[in-house]
Structure 1
Amino acid sequence: MAVYTHLTQQDIEQLLARYDIGKPVSFKGIEGGVENTNYFLDVDKKGHLQRYVLTLFEYLPAETLPFFIAYTDELKASGLPVPNPIRDRKGAALQTVKGKPALIVQCFEGQHPDAKNLTLDQCQQIGTMLAKIHTAGQSSSLYQENQRGLPWLDAQQQRLIPLLNPDDASFMAEQWHSISKALETFKHLPKGLIHGDLFHNNVLFDQGKISAVIDFYQACNDWLIYDLAVTVNDWCLTDNLELDNQRLKALTEAYIWVRPLTENEKKAWPLMLRLAAFRFWISRLITFVYPEQEADGEHQENHVRDFLDPDEFKIMLKLRTNILD
C-alpha cells in the first residue's frame, strides 16, 4: 500500500476552490490501496465538518475513468451504497492534480471488518451485495475491458518469470499454462460488470450492516463467477489460507439466492478460485519487483509504503490447485 503522489496544503486548496463543498481543514494520506494514491480530506462548510476521499490514479489512464464515474452513478441510482464522485461547480467529476487524474468522493460512516474475525453474517451480507451489484450491472449498457485480464496476466507473467527464483518461476509458468489451457473449456460463462476487487477492506460496516462498498477502480466486464472467486478468496480464509467451509457456504448461498449459478459456472468454480489467486499473486509481485522510487521532500510523512505480501496468494494458489488433485 502506498501514497505515491505527495500533495501540499496549497495543492488541496487549489483543488477545493473548484468545488462548493467547503474549505480544507486537514488532509492525510490513507494506508490503503495498491495502485492508487488516496487522501482523507476534512473540509468545513459553514461550521459543518465533512470528510471526503481524494483518489489520484497512478496507472489508470484518464480516458478510462468516465466509465467508473458512470458505473458508480448507475449503482447509486439502483439504491446500492457506493461512493459516486462529487461534481465541481461546472458539473465535472474528473479532475487533474499534479498531472494525475483525480476524483473526490464522500467518505461513508463505518469501519472495515476485521480480517481475522469475519463473521457468517458479514459473509452473507457481502454475498448478497455482490449478487445485487452483478444483477444491476447486467442491465447496464456500459462496457470496460478488464485492464487486469488474461492478456495482461500473460504479459506480466512473462515479464516476472526471469526475475523470480527458480522454484517460483517454474511454479508460475506451470500454473499459467495449466490455467490458460483449462479456460479454453469455459468461453461462454455469464459476463457482466464486476467489482473486481471486493476485498474486506473495500467494504464498510456500520451498526452491523454494510454501509458502503468502495473502490470500484478495478471494475470491468468479465466473468461474474470470477468476481465471486476473488471475493471468496479474501472473505472465507482460515489462518493457513485454506477455505473456511462455513463462511464459504454462507457467502455463496447468499449470492446464489439472488443470482443462481449456471451449471457451467459450477463446473468452472475450482478454476476460477485458481485464476483469482494467480491474478493477485501477479499484481502483488509487481509492487515488489517494480517498486516506485522513494520521494524526498517536506511531506515525506504522507508517504505510505506498506506493500502486501505476494506469498499469501502464491500459497493460496497452491491450495486452490490441490482442490483438483
Structure 2
Amino acid sequence: MAVYTEVPEDDARSLFARLGLGDLVELRGIQGGIENTNYFATTEQDGQRTEWVLTLFERLTAQQLPFYLRLMKHLAQHGIPVPDPQADAAGDLVHLLCGKPAAIVDRLAGRSELQPTAAHCAAVGEMLARMHLAARDFPLTQPNLRALPWWNETVPVVLPFVDEAQAALLRSELAYQNHIAASSAATALPRGAVHADLFRDNVMFQEGALTGLFDFYFAGVDTWLFDLAVCLNDWCIDLATGAHDDVRARALLDAYDRVRPLQAAERRLLPAMLRAGALRFWISRLWDLHLPREASLLQPHDPSHFERVLRHRVEHPVAA
C-alpha cells in the first residue's frame, strides 16, 4: 500500500455519502506496499463510527477490477473472513474517485502477526485451503497477471540493474520454470482463484485467532499449489537468512492438507513451485525498486530477500 494519488477529503466525503456509509470523520493515508493508493477512513452514522479502507487502483483497470471485488464478495458470502466491498445503489463495486477506479471495503479487526508461530501458520494453512474450496464455484475468471508470462517479459527489463551472478540465476531459474510449466504434470495441477500474495502483513489475528485475509489485488486463476508455495515462502522462512523453517512449514502444510488433501503430483512439484514463488517476488521487487513510480508515501521492499529465499530453495529442496 502507498499513496500515489492525494484524495481531497471533500471528494472522499461525497463518495462515502453516495454509498450510504455515513459522514466522513477522518481520512489518513496508509504507508507501505507498492501497488495502489490506500487510505483508512472513519465514518459516523446514527452515532456509530465505522472503519473502512479506501483504495484507488493505480495499475488495475475498471475492466479488471470486478474479478477481484466479486471474488472478495463471493468469499465473504461463503464464510471466509475477507473485506466486503461496498456497492452503490446500482450494485456496482467499482467507483470513480479522482479520475481513478476505487473501492471501499470494511476494515478487518486485529493486527498482522509478523513473528508467526507454528500455531499461526496452521491457522493460515487451514484458512487458505478453505478459501480455495470456497472459490471453486466462483464464476469469473482472470489469469494471475504476475505469473510466468509476466516473468518472461520483466526479467529482460531488470537484468541491467543486477550483477552477473544475479543475472545468471535469474536466467537459469526462468528457463527452469518455463520447462516445469510446460510439463504435463504441471498443466494438470488443480487450479482456481488464488490470493497469490498471502504474506504475513495480509492476514489479521486477534487474541490468537485468525480474523481475516485481505489485499486480494494480485488474485487470479492459477494453481492452488502456487498459492500454497507463496504462503510457505513468507510464513515459514527466517527473514534474516531466507532459510526454511521446517516446524512452521509442517504446521502449515498439515493444516492445509487436512482440509484439502494434496495430490501426489502436488507433493512432487512443491519444490519447483517454492522456487517459482521466490522467483516471482524477486522479479517484482527488482522492478519496483529500479523502475519506481512517484508516491507521496512509499517504502519499496528489499529484492535481496527473495534472492536469498530462491537460492535456499534451489540448494535445499523441501519435501511436502
Same fold (TM over 0.5): yes
Normalising by structure 1, report the TM-score. 0.93
Q: Deviations over 1:49-93 (max 9, x none)?
A: 111000111111110111112211211111111112011234322
Report the Cα distance in structure 2 between the residues aligned to 1:51 and 1:32, rounded to whole angstroms: 19
Report the Cα distance in structure 1 between the residues aligned to 2:144 and 2:42, rounded to whole angstroms: 33
Q: Deviations over 1:86-133 (max 9, x none)?
A: 1123432211112211100001211111x2x21111111100000001
CA contact (8 A) 1:161 1:173 kept: no
Pick which of 11-20 and 314-323 moved more: 11-20
| Matched residues, number | 315
Q: Deviations over 1:196-245 (max 9, x none)?
A: 11111111111211111111111111011110000010101124211111
Report the Cα distance in structure 1 between the residues aligned to 2:12 and 2:138, rounded to whole angstroms: 35
| Residue 312 of structure 1 pairs with residue 305 of structure 2 | yes
CA contact (8 A) 1:194 1:227 kept: yes
Q: Give unmatched runs, 5+ long, in structure 2.
A: none
2:50 is matched with: 50
1:151 is matched with: 149
The amino acid across from 1:270 in the alignment is P
1:163 is matched with: 161
CA contact (8 A) 2:33 2:300 kept: no
Q: Deviations over 1:247-285 (max 9, x none)?
A: 000000000001111111111100000000000011111
User: Following TM superposition, by how much is the alpha carbon of 1:184 offset from its aligned partner in structure 2, in angstroms?
Assistant: 2.4
CA contact (8 A) 1:2 1:307 kept: no
User: Following TM superposition, by how much is the alpha carbon of 1:10 offset from its aligned partner in structure 2, in angstroms?
Assistant: 2.0
1:210 is matched with: 210
Normalising by structure 2, report the TM-score. 0.94
Pick which of 202-211 and 134-143 moved more: 134-143
CA contact (8 A) 1:32 1:38 kept: no
Pick which of 24-33 and 307-316 moved more: 24-33
Report the Cα distance in structure 2 between the residues aligned to 1:264 and 1:127, rounded to whole angstroms: 19
1:91 is matched with: 91
1:69 is matched with: 69
Report the Cα distance in structure 1 between the residues aligned to 2:42 and 2:96, rounded to whole angstroms: 19
User: Following TM superposition, by how much is the alpha carbon of 1:324 offset from its aligned partner in structure 2, in angstroms?
Assistant: 4.3
Report the Cα distance in structure 2 between the residues aligned to 1:189 and 1:92, rounded to whole angstroms: 34
